[in-house]
Structure 1
Amino acid sequence: MSKRIVITGFGVKVPNGENNEELLHHLISGEYKFSLRNEITPNREDLLIGEIVKGLGELEGRDYRALPRIAKLAISTTSEALEMADLDLEDNGTSTGIFMGTTMGGTTPLEEMVRISSADHFRDMPVYCCGLVHYHSLAASVSSFFHLKGITKTVTTGCTAGVEAVEDAMMYLQNGKINTAIVGAADSSNNKVTVFGFGKIRALPFNQQTEYAGSPFSKRSKGFLLSEGAASLILETEEHALARKATIYGYIDAVVTNNDTESINGHDRTGSSMKQAVSRVLGQRIPDYYNSQAMGYAANDSIEELVSRDLFGHGVPLTSIKGLIGHPFSASGLAQIIASLLGFQHQFVPRTIRTDQWGFEHLPLITENLLKPSAKVLITSHGYGGNNAAVYLTKS
Structure 2
Amino acid sequence: MRQRIAVTGFGVKVPNGENCDELLQNLLSGNYKFTVRKDLTPDGVSLTVGEVKQPLGLLDEKQYRVLPRIAKLAVSTLTEALEMSQLDLKDPETSTGIFMGTTMGGTTELEAMVRLSSGDQFKEMPVYCCGLVHYHSLASAVAGYFQLNGITKTVTTGCTAGIEAIEDAVVYLQNGRINTAIVGAADSSTNKVTVFGFGKLRALPFNQQAEAAGAPFSNKSKGFILSEGAAGLILETEEHAKARKAVIYGYIDAIATNNDGKSVNGQDPAGRIMKEVVGRVLAGRIPDYYNSQALGYAPNDSIEDIVSRDVFHHKVPLTSVKGLIGHPFSVSGPAQIIASLLGFREQFIPRTIRTDQAGYEHLPLITETLLQPSAKVLITSHGYGGNNASVFLTRT
Deviation at 1:94, TM superposition (A): 7.3
The percent of aligned pairs where both chains have the same amino acid is 73
Q: Residues 295-347 of structure 1, C-alpha deviation per residue, up to 9 Å, x if partnerless?
A: 00000000000000000000000000000000000001000000000000000
Partner of 2:257: 257
Matched residue of 1:97: which SS?
Answer: strand
Amino acid at match of 2:106: G
Q: Residues 224-255 of structure 1, C-alpha deviation per residue, up to 9 Å, x if partnerless?
A: 00000000000000000000000000000010
Partner of 1:44: 44
Note closer, same or farther for the CA distance 1:241–1:109 as it changes in structure 2 (3 Å cut).
Answer: same
How far apart are the structure 1 equivalents of 2:53 and 2:210? 18
Matched residue of 2:286: which SS?
Answer: coil
- 1:308 matched to 2:308? The reply is yes
- 1:29 matched to 2:29? The reply is yes
Q: Residues 148-194 of structure 1, C-alpha deviation per residue, up to 9 Å, x if partnerless?
A: 00000000010000000000000000000000000000000000000
**Contact 1:93–1:150 (8 Å) recurs in 2:** no
- 1:247 matched to 2:247? The reply is yes
Partner of 1:135: 135
Partner of 2:370: 370
Partner of 2:65: 65
Partner of 1:177: 177
Deviation at 1:210, TM superposition (A): 1.2
**Contact 1:94–1:148 (8 Å) recurs in 2:** no
Matched residue of 1:235: which SS?
Answer: strand
Matched residue of 1:330: which SS?
Answer: helix
Matched residue of 1:182: which SS?
Answer: strand
How far apart are the structure 2 equivalents of 1:244 and 1:92? 13
How far apart are the structure 2 equivalents of 1:348 and 1:182? 26
**Contact 1:94–1:150 (8 Å) recurs in 2:** no
How far apart are the structure 2 equivalents of 1:330 and 1:8? 21
Note closer, same or farther for the CA distance 1:94–1:144 as it changes in structure 2 (3 Å cut).
Answer: farther
How far apart are the structure 2 equivalents of 1:321 and 1:29? 13
Q: Residues 272-291 of structure 1, C-alpha deviation per residue, up to 9 Å, x if partnerless?
A: 01100001110110000010
Moved over 3 A (4+): none
How far apart are the structure 1 equivalents of 2:148 and 2:58? 20
How far apart are the structure 2 equivalents of 1:69 and 1:93? 33
Deviation at 1:90, TM superposition (A): 1.0
Amino acid at match of 1:28: L
Partner of 1:211: 211
How far apart are the structure 2 equivalents of 1:236 and 1:42? 46
Alignment of 1:62-141 (within 5 A): 62-92=62-92, 95-141=95-141
How far apart are the structure 2 equivalents of 1:271 and 1:379? 15
How far apart are the structure 1 equivalents of 2:37 and 2:65? 25
**5+ long unaligned stretches in structure 2:** none
Partner of 2:220: 220
Partner of 1:267: 267
How far apart are the structure 1 equivalents of 2:278 and 2:271? 11
Root mean square deviation, CA, Å: 0.7
Matched residue of 2:18: which SS?
Answer: coil
**Contact 2:215–2:221 (8 Å) recurs in 1:** yes
Deviation at 1:55, TM superposition (A): 1.4
- 1:333 matched to 2:333? The reply is yes
How far apart are the structure 2 equivalents of 1:100 and 1:373? 30
**Contact 1:41–1:192 (8 Å) recurs in 2:** yes
Partner of 1:351: 351
Matched residue of 1:230: which SS?
Answer: strand
Amino acid at match of 1:126: P
- Structure-2-length-normalised TM-score: 0.99
Deviation at 1:93, TM superposition (A): 7.8
Note closer, same or farther for the CA distance 1:341–1:92 as it changes in structure 2 (3 Å cut).
Answer: farther
Amino acid at match of 1:329: F
Give the aligned length: 396
Deviation at 1:92, TM superposition (A): 4.6
Deviation at 1:42, TM superposition (A): 1.0
Partner of 1:188: 188
Deviation at 1:262, TM superposition (A): 1.0
Note closer, same or farther for the CA distance 1:319–1:92 as it changes in structure 2 (3 Å cut).
Answer: farther
**Contact 2:94–2:179 (8 Å) recurs in 1:** no
Deviation at 1:17, TM superposition (A): 0.2
- Structure-1-length-normalised TM-score: 0.99
Deviation at 1:383, TM superposition (A): 1.5
Note closer, same or farther for the CA distance 1:155–1:263 as it changes in structure 2 (3 Å cut).
Answer: same
